Amino acid sequence: MNLQEKINYERIAAAIDYLKQHYKAQPTLDEIAEKIHLSPFHFQKLFTEWAGTSPKKFLQYISVEYAKDILRNREASLVDVANEIGLSGTGRLHDLFIQIEGMTPAEYKHGGKNLSINYSFVQSPFGNIIVASTPKGICHLAFFEEELNAFNVLKSQFPNAEFRKRTDQIQQNALSIFSHDFSKLSEVKLHLKGTEFQLKVWQALLKIPLGQLSTYGSIAKSIENPNASRAVGTAIGSNPIAFLIPCHRVIQSTGLIGGYMWGNTRKQQY
C-alpha cells in the first residue's frame, strides 16, 4: 500500500467510524465529507471504491440493522423505532425496510405475518425445485428430495406468513432460465432478507457474467473485504435462492469445485 492509498484508507475508516457513531443523526453526504476534509463528490467516489457501496447505502444498512435489533428484542412501536434511529417518521422506516429487507418493519417483527407467499413444486433439468414468491419477487428457490421437508424449510424462514400452493407469473419468469430462455431475466425480482454482509455477497454473485466462474477470494475482494474468504463461503452457503443467485459459479482458488448445499454433482452439472 503506497502513501496515497494509506491516506485514502484512513479517511474511509474515519468516515465509517463516524457513520457508526452518528447514524442516529442521519448525517448528509456533505456533513460526512466535511469531517474527513474532502469534497462531497470526491468522498462519494472514494467511499464507494473502498467500501463497495455508497455512503448513503452504508448508512441505510446500519440504520436497518439497529432497527432490526430493536424489533427483535424490545417491545417498541414503529414510531419509537423510527425516532430512535433518527428517521422523520414510520413512512421512511417502511421504505427503508422494503428497500433493504424486502419486507415491511411489521412483517419483519412478526416473522412474515400478513405476508402472502405463493409456492409451487417444479421439475427442472437438475432436479425437483420448490420456488416461492411474494408480490415483491422470488423469496425462495431450492432443490429438494421430499416435498414436505422442502415446504417446512420455506415455512421456517417466514413462520407466520400465509402460504398458498400456486404458480404465478413471478415464478414463471424466474423459472424460464432453466429452459435457456433469458428474455424474462430483466423482469425477475428478488425478495431478499439477510445481514448486510450476506446481501453484499449475494449482490456480488449476481454480477458474475453468465457462463463464467469466480472464486471465494475474488468475491471477497469485490466487496472490498479481501481477508473474508471464509465468511464469504458462509454467506454463499446461506443463499436462499438457488441458481438465480449463482453460488454454483464460485469455486476454490485451487480450481476445486468446493462445497455446494444442493450437492457437488449438481454444481458440476451447472
Residue 192 binned pLDDT confidence (cut-offs 50, 70, 90): confident
> Do 3-109 and 196-269 fold alike per CATH?
yes
Higher pLDDT: 95 or 255? It is 95
Catalytic residue among 143, 247, 249, 258, which? 247
- pLDDT at residue 130 greater than cutoff 90: yes
Instruction: State residue 197's pLDDT score.
Output: 79
Q: What is the CATH number of domain 3-109?
A: 1.10.10.60
User: 196-269: what CATH class?
Assistant: mainly alpha
For residue 122, the SS3 value is strand
Residue 270 binned pLDDT confidence (cut-offs 50, 70, 90): very low
Give CA–CA dist 198/99, Å, rounded: 15
Per-position DSSP letters for 77-120, written without gaps between them: -HHHHHHHTT-SSHHHHHHHHHHHHSS-HHHHHTTTTT-EEEEE
List C-alpha distances in Å: 61 to 9, 54, 156, 198: 21, 11, 24, 12
Q: Domain boundaries in the chain?
A: 3-109, 116-187, 196-269
- Looking at the chain, how many residues does it have? 270
Longest dimension (CA), the chain: 59
The domain defined by 116-187 folds into Double Stranded RNA Binding Domain (3.30.160)
- Ranges 11-20, 114-123, 246-255: which has the least confidence: 246-255
Whether the pTM exceeds 0.75: the reply is: no
Nearest to 63 by CA among 196, 157, 224: 196
CA-only gyration radius of the chain, Å: 20
Give CA–CA dist 254/238, Å, rounded: 23
Beta bridge partners of 130: 121, 142
139 is catalytic: no
